[in-house]
Amino acid sequence: MKKKMEAKTNKINREKIGKDCIRIAKLAGDLLIRHQRKISKLKITYKEAQGVTSNADHASEQLIIKELKKVLPSSHFLAEEEWHSKKLKDYGSVKNLEMCWVIDPLDGTHNFLNGSDYFSVCISLVDRGTPILGLVYRPSSGEVFYSFKESKSFYINSKGKKSVVKLERIKDLKESLLVTGFATEKGEIFDKEFELFKKMMSYCRGVRRFGSAALDICYVALGFWDGFWERGLAPWDIAAAGFIAKNAGLIVTDYYGQDFDPYATSFVVGVKSIHDQMIQHLK
């Protein structure tokens, strides 16, 4: 099975598909920027236990799917807004699909709707549950994080300069600056997560919360933050960013130390020394 998957992914023109994905993400990003300039005219709706969405999210998703169908015509799709519109709960129907695009057309919708520039477009190609491509794009700055299969991850800064993401720091958890998010649904789940937040605060130098898990994870890979954790994320939140972080040399698991799985219910990332300490406190 592994050889079959490798043969199929090796047939993909990495350079072309990479350029196509970056182009598509930028098209979606331009669309989002245009919508954000007219925030007052956006139609906002609420997803049960999942926060808000708007016609900007839907327009971005439709554009991405339309363009990706041209890149790999026979591929499948797991896209956030379509998923919620169908009120689906179980990922079993898509988890083992070959060549499935996992898409978050707008990660950080709350930020976006308040005029903040901290939001992103996420595109990942997942084959039978295993990511083989990850792309996270920040429209406001033009920053691109990208990785394909088992290659290194690279970063394109706001000036268009490309560089390989390298790990150049190892710290103890008490010296670290961490980043996280909370469960969207208030109540008992939120209370538990907030207690965990306070606990982690006592073991590190500080914790930040910005509202786009994908960007948070990518900036951990870049070195802005030292580690990230969160429970209750969806595949479209972490498939691309988790894959990028892993290929950048970070340790990516769930709260129990199990290897990175985009369908897992918890997520932890950091350099090995910090990651191991985080796991001890998160279990």
pLDDT in tens, 137-170: 999 999 999 999 878 899 999 888 999 987 766 6
- Predicted pLDDT at 113: 92
> Is 1 in a helix, a strand, or coil?
coil
What are the domain boundaries of the chain?
2-164, 173-282
Q: Strands 76-79 and 100-107: what pairing?
A: parallel
pTM of the model: 0.91
Kindly indicate the confidence band of residue 81, based on its pLDDT and cuts at 50, 70 and 90.
confident
Residue 80 · residue 105 · CB < 8 Å? yes
Confidence of residue 41 (pLDDT cuts 50, 70, 90): confident
Topology of domain 2-164 in CATH is: Fructose-1,6-Bisphosphatase; Chain A, domain 1 (3.30.540)
pLDDT of residue 219: 96
Of 18-22, 92-96, 219-223, the one with minimum mean pLDDT is 92-96
The confidence band for 92, taking pLDDT boundaries of 50, 70 and 90, is confident
C-beta separation of 26 from 137 below 8 A:
yes
**In this structure, how many other beta carbons lie within 10 angstroms of the beta carbon of residue 163?**
10
| CATH for 173-282, options being 3.40.50.800, 3.40.1160.10, 3.40.190.80, 3.90.78.10 | 3.40.190.80
Place of tokens 């199929």: 8
* pLDDT value at 20 more than 90: yes
Residues 94, 126: Cα–Cα separation, whole Å? 10
Burial class of 73 by CB neighbour count within 10 A (0 to 12, 13 to 18, 19+): exposed
The mean pLDDT value for 88-96 works out to 77
Nearest CA to 223 out of 267, 164, 181 is that of: 164
By percentage, how much of the chain surpasses pLDDT 90? 68
The confidence score (pLDDT) of residue 90 equals 73
Among 54, 66, 37, CA closest to 139: 37
Distance separating alpha carbons of residues 102 and 109, to the nearest angstrom: 17
